Every structure is written in structure tokens, then in C-alpha cells.
Structure 1
Amino acid sequence: MSERQKPVLRVAIVGAGPAGIYAADLLLKAERPFQVSIDLFEQLPAPYGLVRYGVAPDHPRIKGIVNALRDVLDGGNIRFFGNVRFGTDITLDDLKRHYNAVIFTTGAIRDAELDIPGIELLGSFGASQFVSWYDGHPDVPRDWPLDHTSAAVIGNGNVALDVARMLAKHAEDLLPTEVPANVYDRLVASPITDVHIFGRRGPIQVRFTPLELRELGELRDVDIILDDADFGVDESDERSIATSKQLLVINRILTEWRSRETGRASRRIHLHFYSRPAEILGSDRVTGLRVERTAPDGEGGAHGTGEFREFPVDAVYRAVGYFGSPLDGVPFDDRRGVIPNRAGRAIDDEDERVHGVYASGWIKRGPVGLIGATKSDAMETVQALLGDQSEWWSPSEPDTDAIPRMLEARGIRYTTVQGWHRLDAHERALGEAQQRERVKVVPREEMVEISDPPATAQPT
């Protein structure tokens, strides 16, 4: 049977970050007795998800992941529909009418909740909103209230380090990066001098990776302040260090920092371990953070000691994890923030299969794991989908031209791969004029206007 005669599996993927693009790539490369047609839908005008809008601008090595994603997207075998919102511009019923199955890879972009008194005060922020702001996300305000001289960052993961680093780093040191102009201007005016990072467990139980931790200590004119009382507390630390190369490196970094001379820098980052946030202080706005001293519980965790300390700060950023968002018509686990599933196959409240609906990435497993985990995650989901041929939807309108017609009839000005190339070239040209790699375009309308997809181009 020739390729033209083979039946066609039509798949929609909602979400064009790494999880969605990896799933598309694996579908195309899989051995199968049928052809595959893939449409990738993304609510933002540009692809790449958290690689573009969730990684700090001074992390060019991590952003190198874009090169691999670009190769997949530019292969000519995937259609990209950007600036299309699932639930409003396109619905689950639409997908059933045009596809055999859908894979949701919408990630987790909300902040996990932190239930302590004062969390609602003015000056209390979720890390995800701050990250979206400094990464030029089109759907967050252009300004940020950087009027604080001291800030607390709650969390001991890489996002906490990113937030602390962006707060403490001198703005001019970001100029070689793709930091948006409005972000740079605001950071230049920031009066901040001190950033405090709080974690409830010890220095060997952190969730940092060595690369991100090391970068913190490389900041110009920023002292790293550690408390010797936080070290040598847990007897099991030595065993942990002996069995983990990553923890060995982290311990070496922290040990080196403890021996550094401090006191000459204009800014400081303070790392506080065994410190559980108990209350954000203030009446109308944040004036401080109360933390409880903790102690190791012998099982890798920590328990409260009843000893409390207060730190005067003007702002608090919680970086305690991300959380998924529900999707119209799709089962959702409100406790875990994911689409409930078995091996990527969506299941409902009765633990029954929801045929034709699959999940991959953080909306499948929660906001844990790096790129390697996302790839293996996508492989499991793709294998499940390919093995479910008898349970796929039977679309009534499988015509590939039906999707552009439908979006145009609804007045949706969508972007395409070719449109993304135009936006990409425009941003790079803006950067070249300033001897930078790129300068991001931030407003959604401007992004769409520059992309100007031929299918929806305005008459001249």
C-alpha cells in the first residue's frame, strides 16, 4: 500500500511548549501502519511555552532547547495555529468533529497555594506572575511594583533561585540577554539591596540543581550570606552527599560560599535553611515575614521547633511550585492540578476512560522533572494513543482545510509557523540593532500584527 493509500490518523495537540512538540515529533517518528496528520494549537502567538516564557533571560544555555524544538516545528509535517485559545476559540466538540484524538500539553502556569496568614497582603506575589513579567509574557501587566528594598523568596527550587537572581542582579548585566525593554527599565530603577531565600529543610535537602545554584554566586557586586548554624545539623547529610554526585557538588558550592569574605557588595542574597514560613506580617501591605525554626526529622523532612524569628521585608515571593489549570470539558484533578490519567489516557471521576483524550507533560504528571522527563512522558502517551486505534474518535469533518476555515469564520486571527518566522526575525533584528541576540515583542496585538499569517492577512 502506498503512503497516499494509507489511512490517516488526525491528531490535535493543545499546547506548543516542549511537551507538545516532543509528542508531535514522537508521533511522526513512530512505526505505524497509517499516516499521521498533526495540528498544534497554542493560546500564545508564539510557540515554545515555558522555554520562551518561563526561563530567566540570563539562561541562554537552557534556551538552547529552542533549537531542537525549532527543528521539529520547521520540519514541514506539523501545522501550527497560534493565538488560539482552547475553550473559547476552539472547543472539545470542535476537536471531536475534526480529529481522531487530542493530546493536552498545556503545562502548569499558576502558582501553587501557600496557606499562611497574610498571603493576600499587598506586596505578596506568586513567582509565576513575576517570571511571566520579566519574560515578556503578553498577558500580564507591563509594569511590576519593584519599590521594595528587601524581599523574601519562599522556596528551595530553581524557580526560587531565578526570582532571587533577577531581583538582586544589576540590570545592566542583563543587557546582553533578551530581557524586554520595559523589564530592563523597571529593574534599573529598583532600590532593592537584600533578598532572603527561605527553605523549611536543610541545605542538603534543597531542590536546586548545581548549575543554577552556582550561577547565584557569580553575580557581580552581590554577596551570598549563609548562617553557619544551618550546617552540620543533620547527621544523615554525609550519607546523602556520599551517594549523590549532585548533592556533593551542591555541598562544595555552599562550603565555598561560607568561606568567602562579605561586606563590600551593594546587594546581598541571604540563604536561610531550616526556616518554615509561618506568617506574612503587615496590616495593609507586607512589612515582614515570620518563620519557624525547624529541625531534621531523620527521614529527610523537618519538624517545627516552636522557635520563631521575624525578618523585615517589603515584599514576599512564593516559589513553592506551579499548578495546572482546568480545561473546558476535560476531567481535572483539583487537588493535584492535573488531568487524571493512566499512562497518558484521560480518566473521569468514575475512573473510566475518556476515549480520544490524552495528556502529556506537567498537565499529566504535575510540575516536576526536567526536559528528559518530558520526553519520556511524551513517549508513554504516544504509545498509549497509537495502541488505542479501536477507541479513537470518528471525525465527521476530517478535511484539513476545515480548521483554517472555521477559525477565519470565527474571526480568530491565528498565527502560523511562517508567521512565527517573521516575528522571530523581527525580534532578532531589534536585538541586532542593540548588539543583543533579540529583543522580545511583548504586546499580543503587536506579535500577531508582525506575524501577519497569509491566511488572515489584512488587505492593504
Structure 2
Amino acid sequence: MTPRCSWMWRRARCMLLGRSRSAATGRCLGAERTLTSTSHPPKICIVGSGPAGFYTAQHLLKHTQAVVDIYEKLPVPFGLVRFGVAPDHPEVKNVINTFTQTAHSERCCFIGNVTVGRDVTVEELRKAYDAIVLSYGAEDKRELEIPGEELPGVYSARDFVGWYNGLPDNRHLSPDLGSETAVILGQGNVALDIARILLSPLELLKKTDITQSALEAISHSRVKRVWLIGRRGPLQVAFTIKELREMIHLPGTRPINDPSDFYGLGDIVKDLPRPRKRLTELLVKSALEKPKERDCSHLAQSDREWGLRFFRKPVAVLLSEDGKRAAGVRLSVTRLEGVGDTAVAVPTGQVEEIRCGLILSSIGYKSVPISPVVPFRPNKGVIPNSMGRVQGTPGLYCSGWVKRGPTGVITTTMADSFDTAQALLEDIKSGALPLSEPRPGSSAIRELLLLRGIQTVSFSDWEKIDAVEVARGAEVGKPREKISDSEEMMRLICR
């Protein structure tokens, strides 16, 4: 059988047998022919199969007779739900069940292992579809732009999270966990996720879908202390109360925050918005209140610790004595000008240093341009748009992080994606998105990909991978053992 896994054979077999769902496309071929011959439903392409892509598809399929194709560069779907959500947060991943229902719709088709911009261009997609929604997320990391950030021992949060979550691009990261102190530059949810994974008891991690290679590395980790550095103060932290509460109650670990950072905040709390108020109250309580008697013994027995360091901005990574790797970070002491979320950190002229062997930069993700024909604002890392309509480009839309920037949680992305889908539906209804003639959709794109030697992956193919992962996980008491090698994934669906 050819390396393309006999896609054409599968298609021909499906058509001969009159199957309602094609193994090659994952979509109802007969229904598509009937619809297009009678009512010309719009054919819509979504680029990216993360939460933004699937929520956009879900809304479109619910409110129109559209045929929706979801393209994904990896052989597996779900984006940050699979590769970004912490292994010990399985409840957040339950949204995959909803996405799976969407993918099983007769009018929806998942087409994996296709990189838009390389394997097929945006221009080619525009010729094949009535509309395109760009939902490919934030695929890159923000740079620290300080001396020494390229040294061994310095990692981006994006790469580190990808490593323990099985992202193929990061499977060979092999971070050095041989020092007792780790520094995380950033105070958002991702920073707390990383701190929690570094400090969690192995007994807890063994029950999650963390990759086996990461679990093995963490089992030999010497990290006992994690500092989370922020350039501003307690009122500007970017994490949520759920993640903070998890860190405070993490078994075998104690917080070591400086009480002086929280003096006077009690008088300010009452005027804060409710989410910020509850978060700040918990910060103040954990830093200033004496622990109860039953908690004292727990804290005394804890052999790991973590803390928030405020009003500090990294200015350089320190070099080890042998000149081969990172040995610490130099911080500029800051003060705030302004109040609340708009407060700006300015240097005071003072500096201090923290010695450590592991530095993780968690200062945010960023999107990258996908095509010269798609407008892009590199300073903000977003596609300029109005309610998801790409400016100056009729028929082109965007949703998720590439639309609004890398902020918010999955529910934020859901609302944002529904807005984009609704804007597209309104354009169809008003005639702003003309449907003058039927478009070929995926049939034309598949022919191009076949000619270019690109083997596509259907949702049924993904379900083969999924079954293997779940089976491997069951053997060791985990929900799944992720396959992080794309080539192994492709071999599984071809056998």
C-alpha cells in the first residue's frame, strides 16, 4: 500500500458500497450531492481544529445548511485542549466530547495533517470555498528580548507545556531539571500550571495523561523551589482563583510569599470587581493569616515550596561559571505608576539576582501571519477584523486568539467564535457574502493535496489513534498515553 494510505482506494470503495459516511472524508457523500444540487448550501473552510475552530463550526452547523471542512496541520484534532490544558485538569478536556459530536455531523469534515500556507495556500482555499474562517491560534512564543535568553536551561512556557503534553514539535525538548530552584517569568495561569506540574507528587501525575517521557524526567527532578516573577504587584496578577487555590493546597508544598507585598491591600479589596476581589482576598489570606493548627504540621512536613515575587522585571540571564548554561536571572526592581490593570511598572534603579538552573519564560503566546494575502498586525499578533470579518477581505473571517490575541479561557473562546460564526451567517443572509455559484470545496483541495503527495487524516483516522492511546494508558492506569510522534500516528492509520 502506498505512503498515502490508499486514500483513493478508500474513496472508491466507499462510493461503490454506497456508504453514508466516507472513510476518506468523514462526511456523508450522498447528502452533499443532494444538497448542492438543490439548494446550494455554502461551503465553508475553517483553518485550525482547536476550540475556536470547533466552536465556530458548531455554531455554523446549528444555524445553516452549510458544509464545513476543518483543516488542521497536525494528524490529531483539538489544539490547545489537547496540548495546552494541564494534565491534572481532565474536567476542562471534557469539551472534546462536544467537539467529537460536531466532527461526526454529516456536514462536517476534519482534514488533518495539512499545513495551510505550505501544503495548500489561502488563495487556493478561497477559490474552493464560499468563506474561510482562520482559527489557527497563537503558534509562536513571545521573546524576552534580554541577554542570555538563548542559553541552555532557558525554555519558553509554550515549549515546556508542549513537552509534557505530547506536542510533536516539543517531544525532544529534554529540559534540565537538575537544580533545586526554578524561576518562572510570568504570573498567569500557564505559569501556575507549570509550577504545579514541577512540584506535584508523582502519585498525582501518574493518574493523568502527562506523557511517559515527561513523567520519567519529573520523577528524577531535583526542583524543590519555584519562584514566579511579575513586573507588577498582587493587584495585577493574571491567574485565576481556581489555579491559585490549587497551588495553595498542593500536597507536600508550602507557599512562601512575602507578607510585606500584601500590607494595606485589605482596605482596597472592597472596591475591586468581584473576580479580582475574591482572588485578592485569597492572596492576602494565604500571605498574612496564620495557618490553623492542623495545617501547621502539613506545612512543616512539606519539602517543596513556591512563591510569588512582585515588582521584578528580568533584565538578563546569568551565565554559569563554565560559560555553558544559565545559572540565574538578574531582575530590575520596579514600582507602579497608575492603578489597577492599567498600572505601568517602571524601574527604580535597583537590581537583584536569583540563582537557579531552570528558567521558564511565561510572558505570552503570539500568532503569526499565514499568508501575504491576509492582513496581519505583527505588533499585536492579530488579524485586523471587525466582529470576525477580516478587514478589506470579503469572504475571509477569523476567530479565537488570532482574532483577539492570546487571552481568556475556553469559555471566552466559545463566545468569541459564536460571534464570528454569527457575523458570517448574517453576511450570507444579507447577500454581503454572495453564493452565486457552487464551489468545489474539499474535492478540489484533496486533488491538489494528492498531487502534492500529502496524506490527509480523517476524523475516523484520528479515532484509530485515540483508541490506541486509550488502550496504552489503561495498561499503566492512565486515561491515555499520548503518541507524540507524528510519523507513528501516520503508521497507525495506515496499517
Q: TM-score, normalised by structure 1?
A: 0.90
> Quick one: which of 344, 359, 379 aligns to 2:418?
379
Partner Cα separation in structure 1 for residue 197 and residue 268 of structure 2: 30
Does residue 332 of structure 1 match 2:372? no
Residue 185 of structure 2 is aligned to residue 122 of structure 1: no
Instruction: Report what 1:361 is aligned to.
Output: 400
Preserved CA contact (<8 Å) 2:262 2:284 = no
Residue 20 of structure 2 aligns with which residue?
none
Counterpart AA for 1:18: P
Distance of 1:174 and 1:38 partners within structure 2: 38
Q: Distance in 2 between matches of 1:121 and 1:217?
A: 32
Change (3 A) 1:143 1:124: closer
Q: CA RMSD in A?
A: 2.3
After superposition, residues 25-44 of structure 1 pair within 5 angstroms as 25-30=58-63, 32=64, 35-44=65-74
Given that 1:143 and 1:182 are in contact with CA atoms closer than 8 Å, whether structure 2 keeps it comes out as no
Aligned partners of 1:100 and 1:395 also within 8 Å: no
2:108 paired residue number? 78
Q: Pick from 135, 150, 155 the counterpart of residue 186 of structure 2.
A: 155
Match of 2:301 among 243, 264, 267: 264
- Secondary structure of 1:8's aligned partner: coil
Task: Select the structure that is richer in helix.
Answer: 2
Is 1:136 the counterpart of 2:179? The answer is: no
Q: Letter of the aligned partner of 1:355 in structure 2?
A: P
In structure 2, the residue matched to 1:350 is none
In 2: Cα distance, 1:375 partner to 1:325 partner: 21
Number of corresponding residues: 443
Q: Secondary structure at the match of 2:447?
A: helix
Q: Report the 3-state secondary structure (helix = DSSP H, G, I; strand = E; otherwise coil) of the residue aligned with 1:401.
A: helix
Distance change (3 Å), C-alpha of 1:78 and 1:423: same
Question: What is the one-letter code of the residue matched to 1:344?
Answer: G
1:89 match: 119
Deviation at 1:340, TM superposition (A): 1.5
SS in structure 1 opposite 2:285? Answer: helix
Alpha-carbon distance change, 296 to 27 in structure 1, aligned in 2, over 3 angstroms:
same
- CA offsets, 1:244-277, max 9 Å, x none? 2443244225513553444532222122122222
Asked whether the 8 Å contact 1:99–1:395 carries over to 2, the reply is: no
C-alpha distance in structure 1 between counterparts of 2:492 and 2:437, whole Å: 34
Matches within 5 A, 1:167-186: 167-186=198-217
> SS where residue 87 of structure 2 aligns?
coil
Name the CA distance, whole Å, in 1 between partners of 2:219 and 2:333.
35
In structure 2, what is the Cα distance between the partners aligned to 1:417 and 1:198? Answer: 42
Task: Give the AA of the match of 2:451.
Answer: A
Distance 1:117 1:392 in 2: 53
Q: Does 1:321 align with 2:367?
A: no
Aligned position for 1:54: 84
CA–CA distance in structure 2, aligned partners of residues 392 and 129 of structure 1: 42
Give 1:428 deviation, angstroms: 0.8
What residue number does 1:17 align with?
A: 50
Equivalent residues in 2 for 1:286-301, closer than 5 Å: 286-300=326-340, 301=343
Paired with 2:108 and 2:254, the residues of 1 have a C-alpha distance of: 48
Counterparts of 1:7 and 1:396, CA distance in 2: 6
Shift of the 305–237 alpha-carbon distance from structure 1 to 2, 3 Å rule, reads farther
Letter of the structure 1 residue corresponding to residue 309 of structure 2: H
State how far apart, in whole Å, the 2-side matches of 1:150 and 1:124 are: 13
Contact 1:101/1:393 (8 A) holds in 2: no
Gaps of 5+ in 1: 348-352, 453-457
Q: Which residue of 1 aligns with 2:15?
A: none
Residue 240 of structure 1 deviates from its aligned partner by 4.3
Alpha-carbon contact 2:181-2:225 (below 8 Å) kept = yes
Matching residue within 482, 487, 495 for 1:440: 482
Asked if the contact 2:171–2:484 (Cα under 8 Å) also holds between the matched residues in 1, the reply is no
Matches within 5 A, 1:269-308: 269-282=306-319, 283-300=323-340, 301=343, 302-308=345-351
Judge conservation of contact 1:100–1:356 (CA < 8 Å) in 2: yes
Contact 2:270 2:277 in 1 (8 A): no
From the superposition, tell whether residues 399 and 108 of structure 1 become closer, same or farther in structure 2 (CA, over 3 Å): closer
Consecutive unaligned residues of structure 2, counting only runs of 5 or more, are 1-33
* Mapped partners of 1:159, 1:435: distance in 2: 26
Deviates more, 1:166-175 or 1:357-366: 166-175
Residue identity opposite 1:277 in structure 2: P
CA distance in 1, matches of 2:435, 2:386: 19
CA distance 1:70–1:399, change in 2 (3 Å): closer
Q: Distance in 2 between matches of 1:395 and 1:308?
A: 66
Query: Does the CA-based 8 Å contact 2:184-2:362 persist in structure 1?
Result: yes
| Alignment partner, residue 231 of structure 1 | 262
Deviation at 1:235, TM superposition (A): 7.7
CA contact (8 A) 1:155 1:198 kept: yes
Counterpart-to-counterpart distance in 2, 1:400 and 1:116 = 45
Q: Give the superposition deviation at 1:180.
A: 1.1
Worse-matched range after superposition: 11-20 or 289-298? 289-298
User: Are 2:354 and 1:311 equivalent residues in the alignment?
Assistant: yes
Match of 2:133, SS?
strand
Amino acid at match of 2:406: P
Q: Distance in 2 between matches of 1:81 and 1:395?
A: 24
Task: Write the letter of the residue equivalent to 1:269.
Answer: W
Aligned match of 1:244 in 274, 297, 302?
274
**What is the distance in 2 between the residues matched to 1:161 and 1:411?**
42
> Which residue pairs with 2:243 in the alignment?
212
Amino acid paired to 2:41: V
Q: Which amino acid aligns with 2:331?
A: V
Contact 1:236 1:298 in 2 (8 A): no
Cα deviation, residue 358, structure 1: 1.0
Question: SS state of the match for residue 249, structure 2?
Answer: coil
Specify the alignment match of 1:413 in structure 2: 455
